[in-house]
Amino acid sequence: MKVIIAAAQTGGHINPGIAIANKIKKENPDSDIMFIGTTRGIENDLVPRAGFKLKTIEAYGLNRKLNFSNIKNLCKTLKGFGKTKKIVKNFRPDVVIGTGGFICGPTILAAKKYKIPTILHESNAFPGIAVKALAPKVDTVLLGFEDAKKRISKAKNIVVTGTPTKITGKNLTNEELNKIKFKLELELDLPTILVFGGSQGAKSINKTFIDAIKAGPHYNYQIIWASRA
């Protein structure tokens, strides 16, 4: 089976795409999987490191303001659409999967041109602009949350699957846990809280956590705070 996955810019789009690719490979080891991303996103690191091919195009999200920058980005995105059509035509996938973000637009539309089955996966409870716009055009929409259904209109087929993850659970011994804590300069005998966020919720999580730190003190536990710089 040949598959194209459109995933770009943020880990919230790329990591589910990689998880889907890993699952396809597990079920069908002979599958040929290619990612389509942008020329400037973290997919240029994450996708090759996961062992998958990556083709890049120039594509940009557009805002509602009519200015030179927006027009310039629109022209680049249209040029990227032409490149995407060539990629899809040459690769001839059995299915094209998009995991959200503006990269899905040119990739899904190129697939529709060649009558290739299309799927969107939305991990968020609040679907992004691209997913809402493309939902009526694709064959199936996969959702991470049941609550997202009411925010997707006119989709042909919706399936709630949950959000795939490339992380697998691992039971660590006390010795292994202590080595990790020592490396991170954490106290061995204090409970540890990991705080992280992603996509549209990251800003509110970070702001709330800053307020919580200011409210301190925090003597009975320690914190790892993962935040994009």
Whole-model pTM?
0.75
Q: What is the pLDDT of residue 193?
A: 85
The class (CATH top level) of 2-160 is alpha beta
- Residue 192's nearest CA partner among 227, 226, 228, 220 is 220
CB atoms closer than 10 angstroms to residue 119: 21
- Domain assignments of the chain as residue spans, ordered by start: 2-160, 174-226
SS3 of the chain: the string is CEEEEECCCCHHHHHHHHHHHHHHHHHCCCCEEEEEEECCCCHHHHHHHCCCEEEEECCCCCCCCCCHHHHHHHHHHHHHHHHHHHHHHHHCCCEEEECCCCCHHHHHHHHHHCCCCEEEEECCCCCCHHHHHHCCCCCEEEECCHHHHHHCCCCCCEEECCCCCCCCCCCCCHHHHHHHHHHCCCCCCCCEEEEECCHHHHHHHHHHHHHHHHHCCCCCCEEEEECCC
Tokens for 23, please give them: 């699952």
Residue 142: count of CB within 10 angstroms of its CB: 22
pLDDT tens sequence for the chain (229 residues): 999 999 987 778 898 999 999 999 999 999 999 999 988 878 899 999 999 999 998 766 555 555 556 556 556 666 667 888 999 999 999 999 999 887 888 899 999 999 999 999 998 888 888 888 899 999 999 999 998 888 887 888 999 998 877 666 678 888 988 898 899 888 888 888 888 776 666 778 888 888 887 877 767 888 888 776 5
Residue 225 bridge partners (DSSP):
195
Which of 17, 24, 27 lies closest to 2 in space, CA to CA? Answer: 24
End-to-end CA distance of the chain: 39
- Judge if the upstream peptide bond of residue 29 is cis by omega within 30 degrees of 0: no
- The tokens for 36 are 């389509």
Contact status, residue 77 vs residue 60, Cβ threshold 8 Å: yes
Task: Decide: 80 and 41 in contact? Cβ < 8 Å.
Answer: no
Which backbone phi and psi does 3 adopt, to 5 degrees?
A: -135, 135
Question: By C-alpha distance, which of 123, 134, 128 is closest to 151?
Answer: 128
